[in-house]
Structure 1
Amino acid sequence: MRVSRLFLAQPLREGDRIHLDPDQSHYLRDVLRLKRGQGLTVFNGEGDEYAATVADLGRAGIALAIGERRIRDAESPLVTHLGLGIARGERMDLAIQKAVELGVTRITPLVTEHSVVRLDRARQEQRRLHWQKIAASACEQCGRNRVPPVEEPTALERWLPGRAGLRLFFDPHGAVGLGDLPRPTAGVCLLAGPEGGFAQRERVLARDAGFVAVRLGPRILRAETAVLAALAALQTLWGDWR
């Protein structure tokens, strides 16, 4: 039987007794349907995980007894920073969820010329917290113990300068494919556009910032599909799928 995993954004130590908040208690009791005495795995994003047991289950909530600390690394050796043009609702959620499952290291949501979604400052932080929660949930599912940070949404023009590593952006008219590129020595920085793609001005800015336009085959891929296809290909070429 598969052991359930739960992300807890707090310090964890062997022997601790943790009282869960109402949302976490609801998830364990009503979604996972765990009972008193059942085991699960908990982690806090710092790299390790802990065995845990449901010690108390009542109307006041659920308490967990924290057990043995386990060292287990599920991170890819390939460092990948994803600059992701903000897309609508479920498309953005899906891209972030699957990027985390595919081993992405860091995600920056980007405001681009063709972004359909426009967020004021208050909503930007609200959405960032939502996307960060999706990243944590993806780690619960896929077995990662380090949760990739989802950074504050940033304008593309502000994000482009100073990026490190092999810098790539997706362009159906790109002159090269991923297999034509040299093995990166300092990670990969990926730039993916929103539903409408990049404006010509943004393509020029990306090239001026050292980004190489790469094609992902002869077909036009949706924004979220391009992200997943590229990350899977990178893991095959240079990551932990080799």
Structure 2
Amino acid sequence: MRIPRIYHPAPLSANSEIALSEDATNHVGRVLRMSTGQKLQLFDGSNQIFDAEITRADKKNLLVQVHGAQWEDRESPLNLHLGQVISRGDKMEFTIQKSIELGVNLITPLFSERCGVTLAGERLAKKRQQWQKIAIAACEQCGRNRIPEIRDAMSLSDWCAEQDDSLKLNLHPRASQSINTLPLPVKHVRLLIGPEGGLSSDEIAMTAGYGFTDILLGPRVLRTETTALTAITALQVRFGDLG
């Protein structure tokens, strides 16, 4: 059996005994049905991995002995910030999971004029917690040892107005440039993906005013979740670590 990778939310140190978090205990004990003496691999977001062994397992607690640590950097040289207008149903969860597998560093959920999702207050806070858990699970699966942050949701206009040194890109079906025509080198990208119905003409004009470059992925119209993953893959091939 493959040794499970488990995220621990607090800093780890070699030669120590710790209790796993509630989520990890549930996954390891109840889902994987692991018991005393079995091996785990832990990571804490510091780009280190720790070999560990279960020393006690019961219904509520799971203790592990943490052994040696080693550095293992699987982060892309391209720092990619995804601004994703919140999509319906499980499409947003799918986009978060797969974009993290592809190396996205930061995700900001966005509200736009044509966003078909209404979330606020406690419901929005719970949804963000759920999205962050999906991010953690994606890292456990794909081997990343840093956990990308899912930021608080914000309006499209506020996100576009944020200032940084990133190359700002907006997918547009009538753009004249493609990712392959963007000049090298690029180390930071802020990528905007709109809703199912696309951005309004006013929103497209606004992004241009904030310095976003319109780019084209190809001749076909893609669904929002397909657009995000296609663009991220193309950016990682050109500027990152996908060959």
- TM-score, normalised to structure 1, is 0.95
* Alpha-carbon separation, structure 2, partners of 1:225 and 1:23: 30
Q: Over residues 182-234 of structure 1, what are the superposed CA-to-partner deviations in whole Å (9 max), with x where a residue is unaligned?
A: 12444111000122211111100111111111111111111011111111111
Which residue of the partner structure matches residue 125 of structure 1? Answer: 125
Which residue of the partner structure matches residue 173 of structure 2? Answer: 172
What is the DSSP-based 3-state SS (H/G/I as helix, E as strand, rest coil) of the residue aligned with 2:150?
A: coil
What is the DSSP-based 3-state SS (H/G/I as helix, E as strand, rest coil) of the residue aligned with 2:69?
A: strand
What is the DSSP-based 3-state SS (H/G/I as helix, E as strand, rest coil) of the residue aligned with 1:94?
A: helix
Displacement over 3 Å in runs of 4+: none
Is 1:213 aligned to 2:214, yes or no?
yes
Q: 1:18 to 1:204 in 2, by over 3 A?
A: same
Which residue of the partner structure matches residue 89 of structure 2? Answer: 89
How much does 1:57 deviate?
1.3
Which residue of the partner structure matches residue 229 of structure 2? Answer: 228
What is the DSSP-based 3-state SS (H/G/I as helix, E as strand, rest coil) of the residue aligned with 1:240?
A: coil
* Alpha-carbon separation, structure 1, partners of 2:62 and 2:188: 41
Q: Over residues 70-103 of structure 1, what are the superposed CA-to-partner deviations in whole Å (9 max), with x where a residue is unaligned?
A: 1000000011111110111310000000010000
Which residue of the partner structure matches residue 2 of structure 1? Answer: 2
Which residue of the partner structure matches residue 196 of structure 2? Answer: 195
How much does 1:128 deviate?
1.3
How much does 1:24 deviate?
2.1
How much does 1:176 deviate?
1.2
What 5-or-longer segments of structure 2 have no aligned partner?
none
Q: Over residues 133-158 of structure 1, what are the superposed CA-to-partner deviations in whole Å (9 max), with x where a residue is unaligned?
A: 11111000000000011111010111
Q: 1:184 to 1:123 in 2, by over 3 A?
A: farther
Retained in 1: the 8 A contact 2:8–2:21?
no
Is 1:147 aligned to 2:152, yes or no?
no
What is the DSSP-based 3-state SS (H/G/I as helix, E as strand, rest coil) of the residue aligned with 1:89?
A: coil
* Alpha-carbon separation, structure 2, partners of 1:240 and 1:21: 32
After alignment, is 179-188 or 102-111 more displaced?
179-188
Retained in 2: the 8 A contact 1:165–1:184?
no
* Alpha-carbon separation, structure 2, partners of 1:132 and 1:157: 23
What is the DSSP-based 3-state SS (H/G/I as helix, E as strand, rest coil) of the residue aligned with 2:157?
A: helix
* Alpha-carbon separation, structure 1, partners of 2:31 and 2:174: 46
Which residue of the partner structure matches residue 159 of structure 2? Answer: 159
Retained in 2: the 8 A contact 1:164–1:189?
no
Which amino acid is 1:93 matched to?
Answer: E
Which amino acid is 2:4 matched to?
Answer: S
Which amino acid is 1:105 matched to?
Answer: N
Which amino acid is 2:98 matched to?
Answer: K
Retained in 2: the 8 A contact 1:86–1:115?
yes
What 5-or-longer segments of structure 1 have no aligned partner?
none
Q: State the Cα RMSD in Å.
A: 1.3
The percentage of counterpart residues that share the same residue type is 39
Which amino acid is 2:236 matched to?
Answer: Q
* Alpha-carbon separation, structure 1, partners of 2:30 and 2:137: 16
Is 1:69 aligned to 2:69, yes or no?
yes
After alignment, is 191-200 or 69-78 more displaced?
191-200
What is the DSSP-based 3-state SS (H/G/I as helix, E as strand, rest coil) of the residue aligned with 1:160?
A: helix
Which amino acid is 1:123 matched to?
Answer: R
Which amino acid is 1:203 matched to?
Answer: I
How much does 1:163 deviate?
4.1
What is the DSSP-based 3-state SS (H/G/I as helix, E as strand, rest coil) of the residue aligned with 1:168?
A: strand
